[in-house]
Structure 1
Amino acid sequence: MSENRFIEKFQHKTVSELEYILENKKSYNEQAIAASIQILKKRNGKTPELKSVENEIKIEKEKKEVARKKIIEEVKKKNNITDDPNAPELHSKKVIFLFSAIFSTIFGAVLLMYNMKQTGNSKGRIQVLIFGILYTVVSIVIIESLNVKTNLALLFNFGGAGILIEYFWNKFIGKEFQYRKRSWVKPAIISVLITIPLILAAIYRQ
């Protein structure tokens, strides 16, 4: 835990000034309030007034924590994420979209295929693989023929990402399917390692 920088800063303040900070808690951050309470305790002991302020702060923190947890639960529910240990671990729609947009549609397709393996959908995996390969190849051919690189590539990537998560996911996994969120770190590392040589080769070719 980091040291409260306000403790030393507030040492010169009078009791009235410190009490003013506590009376106007909403105008100060948590460290300033905590420092004021600590200094007042040393000077005056734990008075009823200080105890009351501490209780108020504690209640406010508890309310904020409850609100934070509620927001997290609502986000999870909206994205069909659950804490059920029996639910499969899948890459979320957001992760698949980002991988498709940043790298290419085939990367997002591979992640979606993993999800389908976890849900026992072999037929869907084949369709997604074929789509990912064909879409990526067609995109490259069109971009190369038009000689327009970045903007068009991103447009194709966004389009492919949308098809993966809004069509294939909803069709083969299910729009309301509940799952646990799988880490995106390992796929990201693999994707970067695959992409770097391709970028270097493209630069060298130019």
Structure 2
Amino acid sequence: MSENRFIEKFQNKTDSELEYILENKKSYNEQAIAASIHILKERNGKTPELESVESEIKLEKERKEIACEKTIEEQKKKNNITDDPNAPELHSKKVIMVFSGLFSTIFGAVLLMYNMKQTDNQSGRIQVFIFGILYTIITLVVVNLLNIGGNIALIFNIAGGGILTEYFWNKFIGKEFQHRKRSWIKPAIISVLITIPLILAAIYGQ
């Protein structure tokens, strides 16, 4: 409580002013409310009114926590994420889309190929690999021939990611396949390490 800056700030407020804050809790932040309760307790002791306010705050906090947990569970269900330790760890559709957009479709294809390895989809891996290579080459050729900007290339990459996640994933893994979420950090580091030399080569090779 000593770290609450509102305690010192509210010391000169009257009881009525502090009670007004508690009556209008929605207009004040959590620290301001806590400081008001703290000061009123110091002045008047623990009154039934303050106990009632504290109970209301506790119940509201619990309701928010329950709502937050429910939202997280609904999001997991929507994305077919499970906590089942027997379910395979896969890179999510969102991660594949982001990698495809930021780096290129072939990077998203590699992540999807990893997923297919985890789910024993050998034929799917081959098709995704071929698609990733061909789509990336076509994107580079079109961008260079037409001399179009990076924004158009980004659109091509995102479209490629969409094909990977909405066609190949749904066809070979299954739209509602339950899986655990795999970390994206290691693939991100590898992708950056691969991309930086290519960018430098493109800049200094001109």
TM-score, length of structure 2 as denominator length: 0.97
Which residue does 1:71 correspond to in 2?
A: 71
CA distance in 1: counterparts of 2:199 and 2:109, whole angstroms: 20
Which residue does 2:13 correspond to in 1?
A: 13
Summarize deviations over 1:63-116 as a string: whole Å, max 9, x none: 111111111111111111111111111110000001001100000000001111
CA distance in 2: counterparts of 1:123 and 1:3, whole angstroms: 60
Q: Which residue identity lines up with residue 199 of structure 2 in the other structure?
A: I
Which residue does 2:173 correspond to in 1?
A: 173
Which residue does 2:145 correspond to in 1?
A: 145
Q: Please say if 1:26 is aligned against 2:22.
A: no
Which residue does 2:83 correspond to in 1?
A: 83
Give the Å deviation of 1:149: 3.4
Which residue does 2:111 correspond to in 1?
A: 111
Summarize deviations over 1:94-152 as a string: whole Å, max 9, x none: 00001001100000000001111111111111111111111111111121111223122
CA distance in 1: counterparts of 2:18 and 2:91, whole angstroms: 51
Q: Name the SS for the 1:83 alignment partner.
A: coil
Percent identity over the alignment is: 80
Q: Please say if 1:4 is aligned against 2:4.
A: yes
Give the Å deviation of 1:186: 1.0
Which residue does 1:36 correspond to in 2?
A: 36
CA distance in 2: counterparts of 1:131 and 1:106, whole angstroms: 8
Give the Å deviation of 1:22: 0.6
CA distance in 1: counterparts of 2:194 and 2:7, whole angstroms: 51
Give the Å deviation of 1:154: 1.1
Structure 1 runs (4+) greater than 4 angstroms displaced: none
Which residue does 1:192 correspond to in 2?
A: 192
Q: Which residue identity lines up with residue 127 of structure 1 in the other structure?
A: Q
Summarize deviations over 1:135-188 as a string: whole Å, max 9, x none: 111111121111223122112101111110000000000000011111111111
CA distance in 2: counterparts of 1:143 and 1:2, whole angstroms: 60
Unaligned runs of 5+ in 1: none
CA distance in 2: counterparts of 1:12 and 1:182, whole angstroms: 53
Give the Å deviation of 1:52: 0.6
Q: Which residue identity lines up with residue 5 of structure 2 in the other structure?
A: R
Give the Å deviation of 1:2: 9.0
CA distance in 2: counterparts of 1:155 and 1:21, whole angstroms: 51
Q: Which residue identity lines up with residue 172 of structure 1 in the other structure?
A: F
Give the total of aligned pairs.
206
Q: Name the SS for the 2:38 alignment partner.
A: helix
Give the Å deviation of 1:51: 0.5
TM-score, length of structure 1 as denominator length: 0.97
| Mean CA deviation greater in 42-51 or 151-160 | 151-160
RMSD: 1.3
